[in-house]
Amino acid sequence: MEETIRVAIYARVSTEEQAEHGYSIDAQLDTLRSYCTLYKKQIVGEYVDRGISGKSTEGRYELQRLLQDVKAGLIDEVAVWKINRLARKNIDLLQIVEFLKKHNVAFHSFSENFETQTAMGRFSLHLMGAISELERETIVDNVRMGHRQRAKSGKHNGKVPIGYRVEGSADGRNRDTKLVIIKEEAVLIRKIFEMYASGQGLKAIANELNWEGYRTGTKKPFSTCAIANLLDNPIFVGKIRYNQYQNWGEKRRRGKNDHPILEDGQHPPIIDQNLWDKVQLLRKKKGDMPKKRFEGEYLLTGIIRCPECGAAMTASRTVNRSKDGTKVTRMYYSCGRFRSQGSSVCHANSIRKAEAEKAVTDRIQSVLEQPDILKAIVKNVNEKRSGRIKPLRDELSRFNVRIANLEDKRRKYLDLYERDEINYNLFSERLKVINGEMDNELTQKARLELELRGDVAEPVPYELVRSLIKRFDELLRKSPFEQRKTLLHLIIKKIHLDDKRRVNDVELCFSSETEKHFLSVAPSAVQTAEGAFPIDGKAPNFKQQLCIVI
């Protein structure tokens, strides 16, 4: 007897696609259900990501759940309406299909009518994936072209800094907008430029503004970075700058463009040209100066936390003279917010570098030397994990109730429309609101189900925890500085200090990735290569993330 093929249906629609092109989740599902019925295939699950873009796999909780079920051997075939529902980037598409192939799961696209079980089908996949990515890139290029044209004509794009507000309408492609000066904020901008032109540094300016109660456009205290961004923005001198960074979504500041568009704007300036030129001359001069270099090796920068405000602590030092006249350098970890935003926000709360680093390594060793303490820690972890299950399930039930209520509302409006008791415009408006709420609820439900699935795992064995910490401790003692710092930042999530600035607890997080790359055996031929960690034997493999506090 021929075995029934188990099919998982995957559907996706972004908010923009639903609004502009009328793509429908229901239509995708109905089409794929009919396909499975026609070919007598069993539907074992429907995975739907609503209101989510396909440009990446992040935030697509239903796709993640689908891949987990593939890995668990619950699926024989994955069916989609079009391949761009699965991914819009060719590299993402091929990686997903390769994952399916690795687990002997076929991939079928209804619209393109091909499967990956044949050579011609795999060729078609590559071809259609490239076409889909070309389509997306063409849309992106068209949007960029529109933004570029606006910038060249002296019009702004996107958000504006403090000092200005946007007036006018922005309906689709018809963006009849202009920048208008906010007088109260313009006074602050002039104050910042004048303070810097008078010789004050970034930190001194941020500290003074914070003490005087000023805040950024996002209502946060000023930092040195925020001040620098304002001083470097030509919008205040009546210019429009565009394309300063290319491909920001992936490259961030590494994608800086040396030749951005810079045009005279259609908006009034806040700063006169003479003041602007003076500030830019000072910025260049200070930027060419050598940056401070601290002696010693700061292993815990960014992961040790300020006991007062919780911000990450950074490297600092003091230089004093001893009684015999020689210089003595003392190295510390100090609050990053204090160093960036001044004493109005927090205090230094410094802890000596050597003291902090020794306390962390001693804490790890002491846990290994006292099994009773570690057993109590593991017991506490397992109790917390099991204690989270009920609240998660209760929250999931509330999502199900809200989803059911929205379904009822949608059916009621459909009935009213079919009986001609409401007109099309009202029906469309109400349905759009309901669909938006439904998409949000279903997305959150998918996130919760994924989280719940991870939390119902079996209790964490004591032997596993001890083995991982033992490996971690061994590597810290054997590895050179660069690897040791990398390992600390991978494994240690946070280090908390008490009110006397002593190490209170250390939060460790182990995952399958850290185990694979850092806690497993390193090839003997490349023991000295960058990223290789000297260790013998093999660390225990595990599939869940494990966080403990010691």
Rounded to whole angstroms, the Cα distance separating 26 from 32 reads 10
Rounded to whole angstroms, the Cα distance separating 10 from 62 reads 8
Per-residue confidence (pLDDT) for residue 116, from 0 to 100? 58
User: In this prediction, what percent of the chain has a pLDDT beyond 90?
Assistant: 7
Per-residue confidence (pLDDT) for residue 144, from 0 to 100? 62
Determine which one of 14, 109, 132, 340 is catalytic.
14
pLDDT band at 399 (very low <50, low <70, confident <90, very high): confident
How many Å is the Cα radius of gyration of the chain? 29
- Residue 213 pLDDT exceeds 80: yes
Residue 322: active-site member: no
pTM of the model: 0.47
Q: Under a CB-based contact definition with an 8 Å cutoff, are residues 81 and 111 in contact? A: yes
201-210, 220-229, 250-259: range with lowest mean pLDDT: 250-259
pLDDT band at 46 (very low <50, low <70, confident <90, very high): very high
Q: Under a CB-based contact definition with an 8 Å cutoff, are residues 216 and 254 in contact? A: no
Per-residue confidence (pLDDT) for residue 201, from 0 to 100? 78
CA 298 to chain centroid: 26
Contacts of 210 (CB under 8 A, 6+ apart): 221, 222, 341, 342, 344, 345
- Residue 123 pLDDT exceeds 80: no
Per-residue confidence (pLDDT) for residue 211, from 0 to 100? 92
Q: Under a CB-based contact definition with an 8 Å cutoff, are residues 131 and 124 in contact? A: no
- Residue 526 pLDDT exceeds 90: no
Rounded to whole angstroms, the Cα distance separating 334 from 313 reads 5
pLDDT band at 44 (very low <50, low <70, confident <90, very high): very high
What are the pLDDT digits (tens) for 424-453?
A: 888 888 888 888 888 888 888 888 777 776
- Residue 6 pLDDT exceeds 90: yes
Q: Which residue has the tokens 């409401």?
A: 422
- Residue 8 pLDDT exceeds 90: yes
- Residue 381 pLDDT exceeds 70: yes
Per-residue confidence (pLDDT) for residue 157, from 0 to 100? 72
- Residue 253 pLDDT exceeds 50: yes
Rounded to whole angstroms, the Cα distance separating 286 from 63 reads 49
**Cα–Cα distance list, 372 to 221, 368, 379 (Å):** 45, 9, 11
| Of 201 and 22, more confident | 201
100-109, 439-448, 450-459: range with lowest mean pLDDT: 450-459
User: In this prediction, what percent of the chain has a pLDDT beyond 70?
Assistant: 73
Encode 301-339: b = buried (16+ Cβ within 10 Å), e = exposed. bbbbbbbbeebbbbbbbeeeeeeeeeeeeebbbbbbbbb
pLDDT band at 77 (very low <50, low <70, confident <90, very high): very high
Residue 119 has, within 13 A of its CA and on its CB side, a CA count of 0
Per-residue confidence (pLDDT) for residue 210, from 0 to 100? 92
Per-residue confidence (pLDDT) for residue 291, from 0 to 100? 45
Encode 137-167: b = buried (16+ Cβ within 10 Å), e = exposed. eeeeeeeeeebeebbeeebbbeebbbbbeee
Per-residue confidence (pLDDT) for residue 74, from 0 to 100? 92
Rounded to whole angstroms, the Cα distance separating 416 from 412 reads 6
Record the tokens describing residue 458, joined without a space: 């079996």
Q: Under a CB-based contact definition with an 8 Å cutoff, are residues 294 and 275 in contact? A: no
Contacts of 291 (CB under 8 A, 6+ apart): none
- Region 516-545 average pLDDT: 48
- Region 321-339 average pLDDT: 83
Per-residue confidence (pLDDT) for residue 474, from 0 to 100? 81
pLDDT band at 292 (very low <50, low <70, confident <90, very high): very low
